[in-house]
Amino acid sequence: MSEVIFGAAIPIAEFGLDAIAGVVARGHGVASGTARDRRFPNGTIRLQLPFFEGAIANFQAYLGGSPFAGTINIAVDTEAVVIMRPEFRLPEVRWTDVFGPETFYLSAAQLVHGDGRYPVFLYMPDPASKPDHHQPRQVVELLARRLPEVSYGNRVTLLFRPDAIAFTP
């Protein structure tokens, strides 16, 4: 793998992937339920996972186990994260009665931390259908199994398909 410079996307030609470095950051806590949002006391991801697992064959197998009912947030040094053409588009998912349906995009990726390389899905709610709790434009959200090796403040590298997501300078 090529060296990754913080914030710069570098092609990983042998895999057809690009890489971007970032830092694991705290999110709103609504996805995992730690925010104590009374609308979603157990978090939003727990309600959304059955739709993802139903739409994507081998969802859990790809992750290497049961998904964590929350997201891993990666802050990257870029102006914005842009949804391009992820492998999976789940239109108008009605996962709650609190607000209308939402469209989700997911794309297989890998998270590198230390000597570990973990399969993840880029989790991209369509901003046009997401009613609240928008992430900063420099944050990428990931779905993964529980990764105790990865914690807030860790420097990580995200390996991703360049046609799925782009990072503006």
pLDDT band at 152 (very low <50, low <70, confident <90, very high): very high
**Is 149 part of any domain?**
yes
Q: Please give the C-alpha separations between residue 30 and each of 33, 115, 142, 144, in angstroms, as whole numbers.
A: 5, 30, 14, 16
**Is 23 part of any domain?**
yes
Domain CATH for 119: 2.40.30.30
Q: How many domains does the chain have?
A: 1
**Is 143 part of any domain?**
yes
- For 2-138, strand residue ranges (E) read 10-12, 17-25, 72-76, 80-83, 88-93, 102-113, 116-125
Residue 82 has pLDDT above 70, yes or no: yes
pLDDT at position 32: 63
> Taking the chain, what is the end-to-end CA distance rounded to the nearest angstrom?
22
**Is 20 part of any domain?**
yes
> What's the CA gap between 119 and 144, in Å, rounded?
7
**Is 5 part of any domain?**
no
The torsion angles phi and psi of 65, rounded to 5 degrees, stand at 150, -175
Q: What share of the chain is helix, strand, coil (3-state, %, to 5)?
A: 10, 40, 50
**Is 138 part of any domain?**
yes
Mean pLDDT on 1-28? 62
In the chain, the amino acid numbered 159 is L
pLDDT at position 17: 87
Domain encompassing residue 49: 10-168
- Biggest CA-to-CA distance, the chain: 47
Which is more confident, 28 or 12?
28
- For the chain, strand residue ranges (E) read 10-12, 17-25, 72-76, 80-83, 88-93, 102-113, 116-125, 139-143, 155-160, 165-168
pLDDT tens sequence across 26-73: 876 567 656 677 777 677 889 899 999 999 989 999 999 999 999 999
| Percentage of the chain modeled with pLDDT above 70 | 82
pLDDT at position 145: 96
**pTM score, whole prediction:** 0.84
**Is 150 part of any domain?**
yes
Joined tokens for residue 63 = 């992750």
**Is 1 part of any domain?**
no
Mean pLDDT on 122-146? 80
pLDDT band at 120 (very low <50, low <70, confident <90, very high): very high
Residue 118 has pLDDT above 90, yes or no: yes
Q: Is 61 left (phi over 0), alpha (psi -120 to 50) or beta?
A: alpha
Average predicted confidence (pLDDT) for the chain: 83
Which is more confident, 151 or 3?
151
